[in-house]
Amino acid sequence: MDIENLCIYDQDRIGIVGVNGAGKTTLLNLLSQRIEPDEGWVKLYGECAYISQLEPPEEKTIKQETASKFKVPQTYRESMSGGERNRFKLAASLGQNHAIIFADEPTSNMDIEGIQLVENSFANFSGALVLISHDRDLLDSLCNKIIEIEEGKIKTYSGNYSEYIKQKTEERELAQFEYDQYVKE
């Protein structure tokens, strides 16, 4: 993956997009320092949380008021449904004073109420947020930047998902126009 320079600031809401297998989760793991880069470095300032759709939460017990708000038990159990597990992971992450939250498909296995809870919780979160999601509505409502991974390279776009699609379409049209001009010559 070719990353020239990437800075994440407080209040950034970054959505990571790309085709399956492009390296979205790998990028999230690099940024959260769960894996080491082959070259270069990653520096985190402050504590971070990582919400994975597949792994158990980092915290196994949460405060009663947080558990009540997210409608989950205070203690994590393997017997929870997929939606309950994700709610618990969200509650555990937001219950701490993290500077940044990395979230890999935080709305998977959730019903509409759960998705709304994720959206509202992330919208009110005071730190930075970096998330992978196939939920375009979530990316539209939360994100102020989109990072696209395509053919091993990343590109940052300003705005939400809809703005990203608009900018990407304009880029393609310009590239096609330039190609057509080249062919004419």
Q: Where are the alpha helices (DSSP H) in 13-135?
A: 24-31, 64-70, 82-94, 112-124
> Which pTM value belongs to this model?
0.90
13-160: in CATH 3.40.50.300: yes
Average pLDDT over residues 92-121: 92
How many angstroms separate the Cα of 16 from the Cα of each of 111, 114, 115, 147?
A: 22, 21, 18, 5
14 exposed, middle or buried (CB, 10 Å; 0-12, 13-18, 19+)? buried
Strands 100-104 and 13-17 turn out to be unpaired
Q: Which two tokens stand for residue 95?
A: 């219950």
145-150 β-sheet, strand order: 48-51, 100-104, 128-132, 13-17, 145-150, 153-158
Instruction: Output the pLDDT for position 1.
Output: 61
Q: Confidence band (pLDDT; 50, 70, 90) for 93?
A: very high
Give the pLDDT confidence score for residue 21 in this predicted structure: 92
Q: Answer for the pair 132, 160: CB distance below 8 angstroms, yes or no.
A: no
pLDDT 10s digits, 56-69: 988 899 999 999 99
Domain edges within the chain = 13-160
**CB neighbours of 23 closer than 8 A, spacing ≥ 6?**
1, 149, 152
Q: Is the pLDDT of residue 2 over 80?
A: no
